[in-house]
Structures are given as C-alpha cells and as structure tokens.
Amino acid sequence: MNELFTFNADGNEPTVSARDLHKALGIRKRFSEWFEKNSQGFIENEDFTSVLSGTVVNNGAKRELQDYQLSTDMAKHICLMSRTEKGRECRQRLIDLEKAWNTPEQVMARALKMAGKTIDSLKDRCKFLGGQVVEQQKLIEEMTPKANYVDHILESKSLVATTQIAKDYGMSAIRFNQILNSLKIQYKVNKQWVLYSKYQNCGYVHSKTIDIVRSNGNPDVTMQTQWTQKGRLFLYEELKKNNIYPVIEQEVA
C-alpha cells in the first residue's frame, strides 16, 4: 500500500490522487462511477481538483486519464465511508502521512524550498530590472544631445540669422539654404529667401530691413530673412526627417 499511496506535495497543502486511493481501497467499481458517487457534497477547486494523469497501456503508449487531487480531509472521509478494513488502513495511512508532513523538519524543509524559489524569482526580477536600467540609460544617453539642442533653441527668444542656424549643422549658409530649397521649404525672390506658401503664415520667419550703402556711395536697403525659435524647431524636425542632424547630435545619429 505504501508504494501506491503517497502525498502530492507540489502545492501548499498535501493532496492525494483519487485513482491511487481507488486502487488502494481495492474498489471494483469503475473509477468514474466511484468518484461521481463519493464526491457528492464536496466542492471542486476547494476539496478536490480535476487533473490528468499519465499511464502506460499494453502497447507501451502513454495515455492521459482523468484524475482528481483530493484534500486529505476528503480522502479520509472517503476511506471512512468505505467501511472496510482497507478503508481503515488507508485512513490510518493518511493520518500518518499528515503527521510526517507537519513535523518541524518537514515544515522547515518546505520553508527553505519556498525561500529558494522566492530567491530565484527575485534574482530573475533583478536581472530583468538591471537590463531595463541599462536600456533606459542608453536611451537617456541617446536623447541627451537632442534635449540639449532643443533646450538651446528654447533658451533664446530672439530672431536668428540663417548663418547662425547653418553653423549648428556644421555647414555654410549657402549650403544650408540650398538644402532648404531642395526640400521645398524656401525659394529666392530678389535675392531674398522666402518660404513657400504652405509655411509662410506659420510664424517661422521675419523679414528684417537692413540699411546698406552701395558701391557708388548711394544709401539703400535690403531684406534679410531671419528665423524665429518656432522656425528653428520646425527646421530641426524637417531636417531630421531627411537624416540631417545638428552637430551636437551627429555622433549619436
């Protein structure tokens, strides 16, 4: 009987296989009929749990059979209700197994096992969080240059000449203007760069009148396009779409 009848110790409380108990009691009635009758009055997932157990049939193949894990109280009750000598022996076996389960040594062993699982879980969690921290740090390092450049734009409230913005990108004003022209952001009118109509009323630029003196000594004026900080942010986003980054971000990009 000892070989057929053992506790399942996988959960927090010990359980017994209904099929093992059925066999240990020497029941001749089919297992399904026996269990249906003896489980009346008990609550599923509280007193017993439905499981599948594997068994090897005559041809050597493995077959899944319906089984149930019984609480010790339910198992003892079934043994008592059998009113047989085997029922008395099985009930005593259950009592002995419960005593062994609750010895200080077994309680400590289960506590240590549970602590080991908790430690392993915490190790995995720490490893995962450590990886997250590394990824976040990399993201911060990648985003810092961008944040610095945007912060630099937002710090200033004044108008900025194209030459100054071009320097942020490590190029001349001539080259920078050509790029903006190729992107259909601006075009030239009477030697002044002006925005295409879709951008002209967005507050990106202002025209500044500059007094000059011609080579013949005559005074004159010329118009110069200057960018607002809103315009600088607009240029930053548009140029980034075309993989053109300010110098502060070029290494990361």
pLDDT in tens, 142-166: 555 555 666 666 666 678 889 989 9
Full DSSP string of 21-32: HHHHTT--S-HH
Of residues 100 and 107, more confidently modeled: 100
165 shares its domain with 237: yes
Residue 94 maps to a domain: yes
Q: What confidence tier does 1 reach under pLDDT thresholds 50, 70, 90? A: very low
Burial (0-12, 13-18, 19+ Cβ within 10 Å), 56: exposed
Full DSSP string of 97-115: HHHHHTSHHHHHHHHHHHH
172 shares its domain with 246: yes
Q: Angle of helix 229-241 relative to helix 104-155, nearest 10 degrees?
A: 120
Picking from 62, 83, 102, the residue at the C-terminal end of a domain is 102
Q: Angle of helix 72-82 relative to helix 85-101, nearest 10 degrees?
A: 160
Residue 125 maps to a domain: no
Residue 227 maps to a domain: yes
pLDDT digits (tens, 9 = 90+) for 200-249: 889 898 877 766 667 777 776 677 888 888 888 899 999 999 999 988 78
In the chain, the number of structural domains is: 2
Picking from 38, 67, 102, the residue at the C-terminal end of a domain is 102
Q: What confidence tier does 48 reach under pLDDT thresholds 50, 70, 90? A: very high
95 shares its domain with 163: no
Domain limits at 58?
15-102
Whether the pLDDT of residue 176 is over 90: the answer is: yes
Rounded CA-CA distance 131/81 in Å is: 58
Q: What is the pTM of this model?
A: 0.41
Q: What confidence tier does 98 reach under pLDDT thresholds 50, 70, 90? A: confident
